[in-house]
Chain A
Amino acid sequence: MTIKEKGYTHWDGEFLNKKLSWLPITRYGIKLTFRKKFFKLLFFLALTPAVLFLAGIYVAERMEDFQFMIREGEMPDFLNINPAYFKAYFTNDYILFMMVMILVFCGAGLISDDLKFNSLQLYFSRPITKRDYFLGKASVIVFFLFFVTLLPGLVFILMKLLFAASFEFLSTYPLLPFSVIGYSFLVTIFFAFYGLFLSSVNKNRRYVAILIFGLYIFSDILYGIFFGIFRNEYFALLSIKENLKQAGAFLFAQKLPHDIPWFLSFVIIAGFCILGAYVLKKKIRGVEVVK
């Protein structure tokens, strides 16, 4: 009997042009995250600053009703609704911390669980490409982070216009919506790459959770130590948090928190995203049938 070698045959056809084939992955990821007991509490806590800032917008607009709370004739600085107010919301430590916590909850297991349970083959035996897979997973993170960035930002603008019943605010700060959208996309995309990259480095979700949180805190501590010793502002570039704050200040046209060129922070953020994309590409390739 002749034994013929029968190796793998790589399918060379083209997938049907299904534009949203990543959507089920996202939907499933979101559903799974919401099933986690403590997540709802965490999500609620992450949204509280948005409620407070929204209340601030209302108070600022209806100052005459709240005269009893302030010294006569003086409008507190923090109640000036301007790009600085928006920057204060978007770049405050609490919001960034909560974003990392959300990432720990919804992002840690996104790829690591697939690696642990060998589910990648299941994904790629469906008509989806690697891009769809990443897009689907990243969209889970984007979905949750937009709830604390883009959505509140746009709601703030909308409510300000509604409370004031005029478009004066927009004519005074015409670039503000773009700043909100720009910063929201920047921070969300960065955290999506950050979360997926770390989620792909290990099969153990607990380990990934520690890495996501630890790296964020560690980068800040490193900056603290170096800055404490050398007193050089450039060490802020070591800190994820400081880079995001620097980028945020630039996008909202505010005074930069560190006396260093703004573009360096953008380079660091972009560099991290590129590194993340590269590692993801390498990591996920390993389990595909090689041509």
Chain B
Amino acid sequence: MTQSNVGKLKHLWNSVWDVFYFFFPLVRRARKSKVFYFISFLPVILAGIFKFSQIFTGHPRFEGIYIFSNMIMGFYLQFLILILALFYGTSVCSEELEGKTLTYLTTRPVPKSAIILGKYAAYTTLIALMVVFGLVFAFLILNVDDLLNFSLYKILFRSMAVLVLGLICYTAFFTMIGTFLKRSIMFGLIFSFGWENVIQYFPGSTQRFAIAHYLKSLLPTTQASEGFAFLLFRLEPTPPTLAVLILFLITAVFLTLACVIFSWQEYILQD
């Protein structure tokens, strides 16, 4: 690598960091984030309800880790990470166009790709924190009577990693969609709750066209309740290392595409 390339990369990194630093506090404080804080915190409330009901009925119907696994499958994987990634991912570009604030960013000495990457990093960090906090608290509440069982923590960390990986990957995809589609939300909803929801149950290689397939391949436990057993229907898991690699590859491809499109696409801010 030549010295000028190293210099360019260093400048890109610094710019990404600067954009991140501008947007992270902004999105953290944003009014629209409050609803998502609430939704992300709901598993903690649910965990509290389950635990209280167990205490009051006196006989635990299910173990805490069983409920936790169901939450991961039913709430996080099928809903929360999709909704968070969809909203924040498409926001990376769309909110600048809708708010007509794009000019403030594109008239600064930072590469356009740094704007995308910096905002993507800021938003992904925030939603990852939302998910992780909710998850950890819910886990602790659900397993309050078994906290010294260290094998459970392995499940927690693995679940956490899968969800964060899911957020990284989905947000990259939606960031890319947001850079060129005006109605990115519509497309995103159809992709998340249509394509992803259907294709993952297809047999053979077809299911490998869904991001959800790789995430499910990485999940630590397959003991879903009867209510959520269908989520593992026809799952032909990809080996974990390969699944992680593919998820990172998908992320890299989508982010690169987002940067390229954003650099070349022309955005006309209409009055």
Which of B66-74, B241-249, B261-269 contacts the other chain?
A: B66-74
A: number of interface residues (CB 8 Å): 26
Q: Given A205-B98, A225-B75, A230-B61, 14 more contacts at CB 8 Å?
A: A38-B183, A101-B190, A104-B186, A206-B91, A209-B186, A210-B86, A211-B35, A213-B189, A214-B39, A224-B74, A227-B227, A228-B74, A228-B228, A229-B225
A45 to chain B, nearest CB (A): 10
Chain A residues, Cβ within 8 Å of B75: 221, 225
Asked if A210 and B87 make an inter-chain contact with CB atoms under 8 angstroms apart, the answer reads yes
Is B207 an interface residue when CB atoms closer than 8 A count as contact?
Answer: no
Which of A202, A211, A214, A225 contacts B74, CB < 8 Å? Answer: A225
Quick one: which of A214-256 are within 8 Å of B by CB?
A: 214, 217-218, 221, 224-230
Cβ contacts A to B, 15 pairs, < 8 Å: A101-B189, A101-B190, A105-B186, A204-B95, A204-B98, A206-B90, A206-B91, A209-B185, A210-B83, A211-B35, A217-B79, A217-B193, A221-B79, A225-B71, A229-B50
Name A residues whose Cβ lies closer than 8 Å to a Cβ of B.
Answer: 36-38, 101, 104-105, 202, 204-207, 209-211, 213-214, 217-218, 221, 224-230
Residue of A nearest to B91 (CB): A206
Interface core residue of B83, B183, B186, B225 (most chain A CB under 10 Å):
B186
Contact present for A228 and B226 (CB under 8 Å) = yes
CA distance A253 to B35 in the complex (A): 39
A207 and B87 contact, Cβ closer than 8 Å, known pairs A38-B186, A104-B189, A221-B78: yes
- Measured between alpha carbons, how far is A97 from B97 in the docked complex, in Å? 29
Q: Are B189 and A209 in contact (CB under 8 A)?
A: yes
Interface string of B31-67 (1 = CB under 8 A from A): 0100100010000001000100100000001100001
- Cβ contacts under 8 Å, B185 to chain A: 104, 206, 209-210
- State whether B98 touches A218 (Cβ < 8 A): no
- Cβ-defined contact, B228 with A224, below 8 A: yes
Interface membership of chain B positions 94-115, coded 1 if the CB is closer than 8 angstroms to chain A and 0 otherwise: 1100100000000000000000
**CB of A283, distance to nearest CB on chain B (Å):** 15
- Counting chain B CB atoms within 10 Å of each CB, the highest count among A36, A104, A210, A213 belongs to A210
Residues of chain A with a CB closer than 8 A to B86's CB? 210
A206 and B190 CA atoms in complex are apart in Å by 14
Cα distance A211–B35 when bound, in Å? 9
- Nearest 5 CB-CB pairings of A with B: A228-B227, A228-B225, A209-B185, A206-B185, A210-B87
Residues 1-36 of chain B, each 1 if its beta carbon lies under 8 Å from chain A, else 0: 000000000000000000000000000000010010
